[in-house]
Amino acid sequence: MWATLDQVIDRLKQGRNVCVIGHAKPDGDAISSVAGLVAILERYGIAAAGCIADQLPWYYRSLPGTERISTPDKVRGQSFDTTVIVDSSDLSRIGGAEVLLGGAPPDITLDHHRTNEGFGKLDYCDSGSAATAMIVLEISRAMVPLDEELAQLLLLGIATDTGFFKFANADAEVLARAAELVQQGARLQPIASAVLEHRSLSTLKLLGRLFDTIQVREEGKLAYGWVSEGMLRETGCTDQDTEGFVGEIRALHEVEVAVLFVESPPGEVHVSLRSKSYVDVSEVAAALGGGGHARAAGCSLHVERLQEAVDQVVAAVAQAIRESS
Ligand SMILES: [Mn+2]
């Protein structure tokens, strides 16, 4: 049921033992929103645990506060009177953490994905928010004073979901909130260094292999490339190492939509879609069973061969480009 943020905050304050869950394959905003909300509840005097189905990518672990997040097996025996799901457009996004709900809908969902249709007892989704961490920051204002550790945790989600303040969603509100967090002692440099400068040599070699696959269509407006299971194996990489690769394709001059295909495991293809200024890729992703934002979306396809996924998605994106221009 759609709720106001005040209703969500009232419900949160009634919790005695809260479990905060983020989406599988976590990004900076999911990590920031889970750890940030757990930190807020702790400061307010409510016991809280953070949980994400997959291990955090290793380079986030250096950031203080992220140790508040564990995997479902670590918290499974505990009982919770309140469950909160953050930064997830639907229940399936939390993957293996669903066991913690015991078949019941979550008590609260907090999100900013426009494709979210509401799946909790109380749902708050603001697609005008650049990050779920922006919503968590709003919650913190109503519950606890901002301190350095909390500010640092919340800056992570705001920085990463705005592409370090360069995407179209980096508006005055985002910059004002970020400035406020920096004023409180948060530092952008450790976040930028952890998130943007952690590539291993094998990941760079994989990126080189991806560049070799890049194809351009629709008079240069569509560019796509792929990472096959074989390419991962040969370079000693995992699908997690492809984070940020789609942005490298979007960097091509005159491209409007960039698409990255990652095959892992065989038969499963993860598709990342990014647009620069006018194509709504969340519609393309939603039509293929995925979701996301207007400028950043994704879906997963089960296919016999990687090429099938490529053909299907490229045709859909090409059509979306023709219809929008
Ligand atoms: Mn987000």
Q: Which residue has the tokens 């920051």?
A: 137
* Upper half-sphere CA count for residue 126 (Cβ side, 13 Å): 15
Low-confidence ranges of the chain (pLDDT < 50): none
3-state SS assignment for residue 199? coil
Q: Report the SS3 class of residue 86.
A: strand
Report the separation in Å between the CA atom of 274 and the middle of ligand 1, taken as the mean of its atom positions: 14
Return the pLDDT at 114. Answer: 87
Report CA(20)–ligand 1 centroid distance (Å): 15
* Interval between CA 34 and ligand 1 midpoint (Å): 11
Question: What letter would DSSP give residue 95?
Answer: G
Residue 21 CA to ligand 1 center (angstroms) comes to: 13
Residue with tokens 């025996």: 77
Token pair listed for 259: 């698409």
What does the alpha-carbon distance between residue 161 and residue 116 come to, in Å, rounded to a whole number?
17
CA of 241 to the centre of ligand 1 (A): 19
CA distance 72 to 93: 14
In the chain, what is the straight-line distance between the N-terminal and C-terminal CA atoms, in Å?
A: 37
Ligand 1 geometric centre to CA of 87 (Å):
5
Q: Please tell me the distance from the alpha carbon of residue 85 to that of residue 93, in angstroms, as a whole number.
A: 10
Q: Which class is 5-196 in CATH?
A: alpha beta
Both tokens of 138, joined, read 């709003």
- Residue 12 to residue 5: CA distance in whole angstroms: 10
| Å from CA of 219 to ligand 1 middle | 31
Between the CA of 160 and the centroid of ligand 1 the distance, in Å, is 9
Radius of gyration (C-alpha) of the chain in whole angstroms: 19
How many angstroms separate the alpha carbon of residue 305 from the centre of ligand 1? 30
Say how far apart CA 81 and CA 88 lie, in whole Å.
20
- Cα of 46 vs centre of ligand 1, distance in Å, is 25
DSSP line for 18-38: EEEE--SS--HHHHHHHHHHH
Query: Which CATH class for the 203-324 domain?
Result: alpha beta
- Compute the distance from residue 35 Cα to the ligand 1 centre, in Å: 14
- CB half-sphere exposure, 75, CA atoms < 13 A: 27
CB count within 10 Å of CB 189 equals 7
The candidate with the shortest Cα–Cα distance to 56, out of 166, 160, 162, is 160
Angstrom CA distances, 195 to 11, 12, 100, 184, 198, stand at 34, 30, 29, 21, 6
Instruction: Give the CA count within 13 Å in the CB-facing half-sphere of 76.
Output: 9
Would you kindly state where each structural domain of the chain is located, as residue ranges?
5-196, 203-324
Residue 139 near residue 40 (C-beta atoms within 8 A): yes
Q: Is 270 helix (H, G, I), strand (E, B) or coil?
A: strand
**How buried is residue 277: exposed, middle or buried, by Cβ count under 10 Å (0-12/13-18/19+)?**
exposed
The answer to whether 271 and 301 are in contact (CB under 8 A) is: yes
Distance 230 CA to ligand 1 centre (A): 30
User: For residue 22, how far is its CA from the centre of ligand 1 (angstroms)?
Assistant: 10
pTM to 2 decimal places: 0.85
Distance 88 CA to ligand 1 centre (A): 8
Cα 112 to middle of ligand 1, angstroms? 7
Q: How far is the CA of 29 from the centre of ligand 1 (A)?
A: 5
Provide the pLDDT for residue 207: 98
Residue 245 CB: number of other CB atoms within 10 A? 19
Q: In the numeric block, which tokens belong to residue 278?
A: 């006018």
